[in-house]
Structure 1
Amino acid sequence: MRQPWKPSPAIKASAVLHLGALSGVAAGLGWPWAVGGILANHAVLTIAGLWPRSTLLGSNMRKLSAPACDAQHIAITIDDGPDPQITPQVLDILDAAGAQATFFCIGKAVEAHPQLAREIIRRGHHIENHSYAHRHYFSVMGLDQLRKEISRAQSVISQTTGHTPVYFRAPAGLRSPLLDPVLQSLNLQLVSWTRRGFDTVATDSGKVLQRLEKGLATGDILLLHDGNAGMTASGRALVLEVLPKLLDTLRARGFRAVSLRIAADPLNSLKGVAE
């Protein structure tokens, strides 16, 4: 059931500011002040959109819930796939460690590799929405464009895997104030991360691992990539170098790697993941 959009306090304040500025101009109080206020407001909203972990533009899941923290859960999220060369190896690494992950998949890639998408689900993981085409101009799309882009991915993933996404991650984490009403209308929760390894641009797996492990704490949401993956100097995808060591660290520190859906209900089990 679709829920009515509930704007964030910052969006409400922005609307009030715009109305106040227009009223001020109409009352002859001086348009330079009104324009200055509106420009400053737009600058704040723009900065918020460029800050992936910001909550100014709407609900944004940046850390797991308190019950998940109590259960020593950490969520590993893997973006931009599925990739036919890398994703099967990622699945094998996760299997070997008895870990679950959340794959934020691009709808177009799911369309191109439906069997691989279904294999992700079969292995006990979850696939969530990462837009249909991961367009570089996603954050400046209009309302209708955003709705079509996200809805198309939602449809492709649901029809291919039999599971409807409940989480969404914006391409590169960038967004505009228009994203929140679209996500609310589709019953999707925006998810960012606690820490990332920058494994799409790095070449040193040690530095990527260090970024992910530094300050690692229960409830963290970690970001890696199986699509658009950065490569080591030897030509191996960074995620394949980093993930086994990261999982060893989690195990040594008493953490359990679970999917976002499992973390949302720590008493749940993987029974029903493949149902």
Structure 2
Amino acid sequence: MKYKYLNFLVIFFALGLGILILVLGWPFWLLIFSLLVYIAFQITVSTNIRWNYFVKGFHKNTGMAEQAVGLSFDDGPVENTLRILEVLDRHAVKAAFFCIGENIKTNPEIFKEIIKRGHIVGNHTYSHSKFLGIFSRDGWLSEIKRCDEIAKDIAGVKMELFRPPFGILNPKTKRALKITGHKVIGWSIRPYDAITGSEDLILKRITKNIEKGDLILLHDNMDKTVAILEQLLVILKEQNFGVVRPDELFDINAYT
């Protein structure tokens, strides 16, 4: 159901419930409880990118013939990205890097090195602000466009792929993306490596139920990602999984 129609139904329901409360003396807490449930629902769908509630994204390709998965990294480029690139080179693996505009500006040579080594780059907003969830359409638009502009100025690429920070998507994000035309890239495996200290636990979360067509999310700004990646690529090979670049995983273009 489209969210605007759902909003209409919720408003209609709230008005009807309010009338029943006034006329029949139903307890007022029913209305408060109903509104709290709806708010909780909106927060849930806004922070679960794989539900495709506001914007359809690419998360997993269950129909691919090849026994392969995709690798993606968020929040670079940073110095640690170079160590990630070395590991990927040793295993002849290509990945996608969703980059923050401010980091591209700070580390332009690393950004260009990602592309030079045959990986693809995507838009991860300019600032990766913790308050993106309350940004207006124009706020989202500015974040996306500024990141695009820096990437174009530094490396000459017009990024077609976008991954929202924290997986946040809402009606305002949708309106901004309708203007920019970016494709949304999510994930099917998220091991929460940015907030989990145990490398073993992170690896278990990735490999426990991995299937062909999965897209793995990691962070290249975390020091431990280097060791995790090295072990992961060995495990994938042992389990007969290939690794393909995410644009190949979904058969889409990374650049305009």
Report the TM-score, using the length of structure 2 for normalisation: 0.86
Q: Compute the displacement of 1:147 (Å).
A: 0.9
Q: How does 1:1-275 map to 2 (within 5 A)?
A: 9-17=1-9, 20=12, 40-64=37-61, 66=63, 69-84=64-79, 86-227=80-221, 229=222, 237-265=223-251
Q: What is the aligned partner in structure 1 of residue 25 from structure 2?
A: none
- Which segments of 5 or more consecutive residues in structure 2 lack a partner in the other structure? 23-27
Q: CA deviation at 1:43?
A: 3.3
CA 1:105–1:47: 2 relative to 1, 3 Å: same
Taking the aligned partners of 1:34 and 1:10, their CA distance within structure 2 comes to 23
- Tell me how many residue pairs correspond in the alignment: 249
Find the residue that maps to 2:230 and give its secondary structure. Answer: helix
Question: What is the one-letter code of the residue matched to 2:48?
Answer: W
SS at match of 1:79: strand
Q: 1:100 to 1:82 in 2, by over 3 A?
A: same
| 1:40, distance to aligned residue in structure 2 (A) | 4.5
Code of the aligned partner of 2:111: A
Looking at structure 1, the residues matched to 156 and 212 of structure 2 have their Cα atoms a distance apart, in angstroms, of 31
The root-mean-square deviation of aligned C-alpha atoms, in Å, is: 2.7
Match for 2:133: what amino acid?
A: S
TM-score (norm 1): 0.80
For 1:211 and 1:173, the matched residues in 2 are separated by 18
Structure 1 residue 41: Cα displacement = 3.8
Change (3 A) 1:57 1:39: farther
Maintained 8 Å contact 2:58/2:250:
no
- Structure 2 Cα separation of the partners of residues 35 and 199 of structure 1: 37
Residues 121-173 of structure 1, C-alpha deviations (whole Å, 9 max, x = no match): 01000000111011011111111111111111122122222222222111121
* Percent of aligned pairs with the same amino acid: 26
Distance of 1:48 and 1:22 partners within structure 2: 20
Rounded to whole Å, the distance in 2 between the matches of 1:61 and 1:78 is 15
SS at match of 1:48: helix
Kept after mapping to 1: 8 A contact 2:47/2:166:
no
Give the Cα–Cα distance (whole angstroms) in 1 for the partners of residues 217 and 238 of structure 2.
20
Deviation, 1:21, is 6.0
- Residue 15 of structure 1 and its aligned partner are, at CA, apart by 4.3
8 Å Cα contact 1:51-1:173 kept in structure 2: yes
Q: Report the residue type matching 1:244 in the other structure.
A: E
Give the superposition deviation at 1:107: 0.8
Q: Which amino acid aligns with 1:10?
A: K
Distance 1:80 1:166 in 2: 17
* Cα deviation, residue 181, structure 1: 2.1
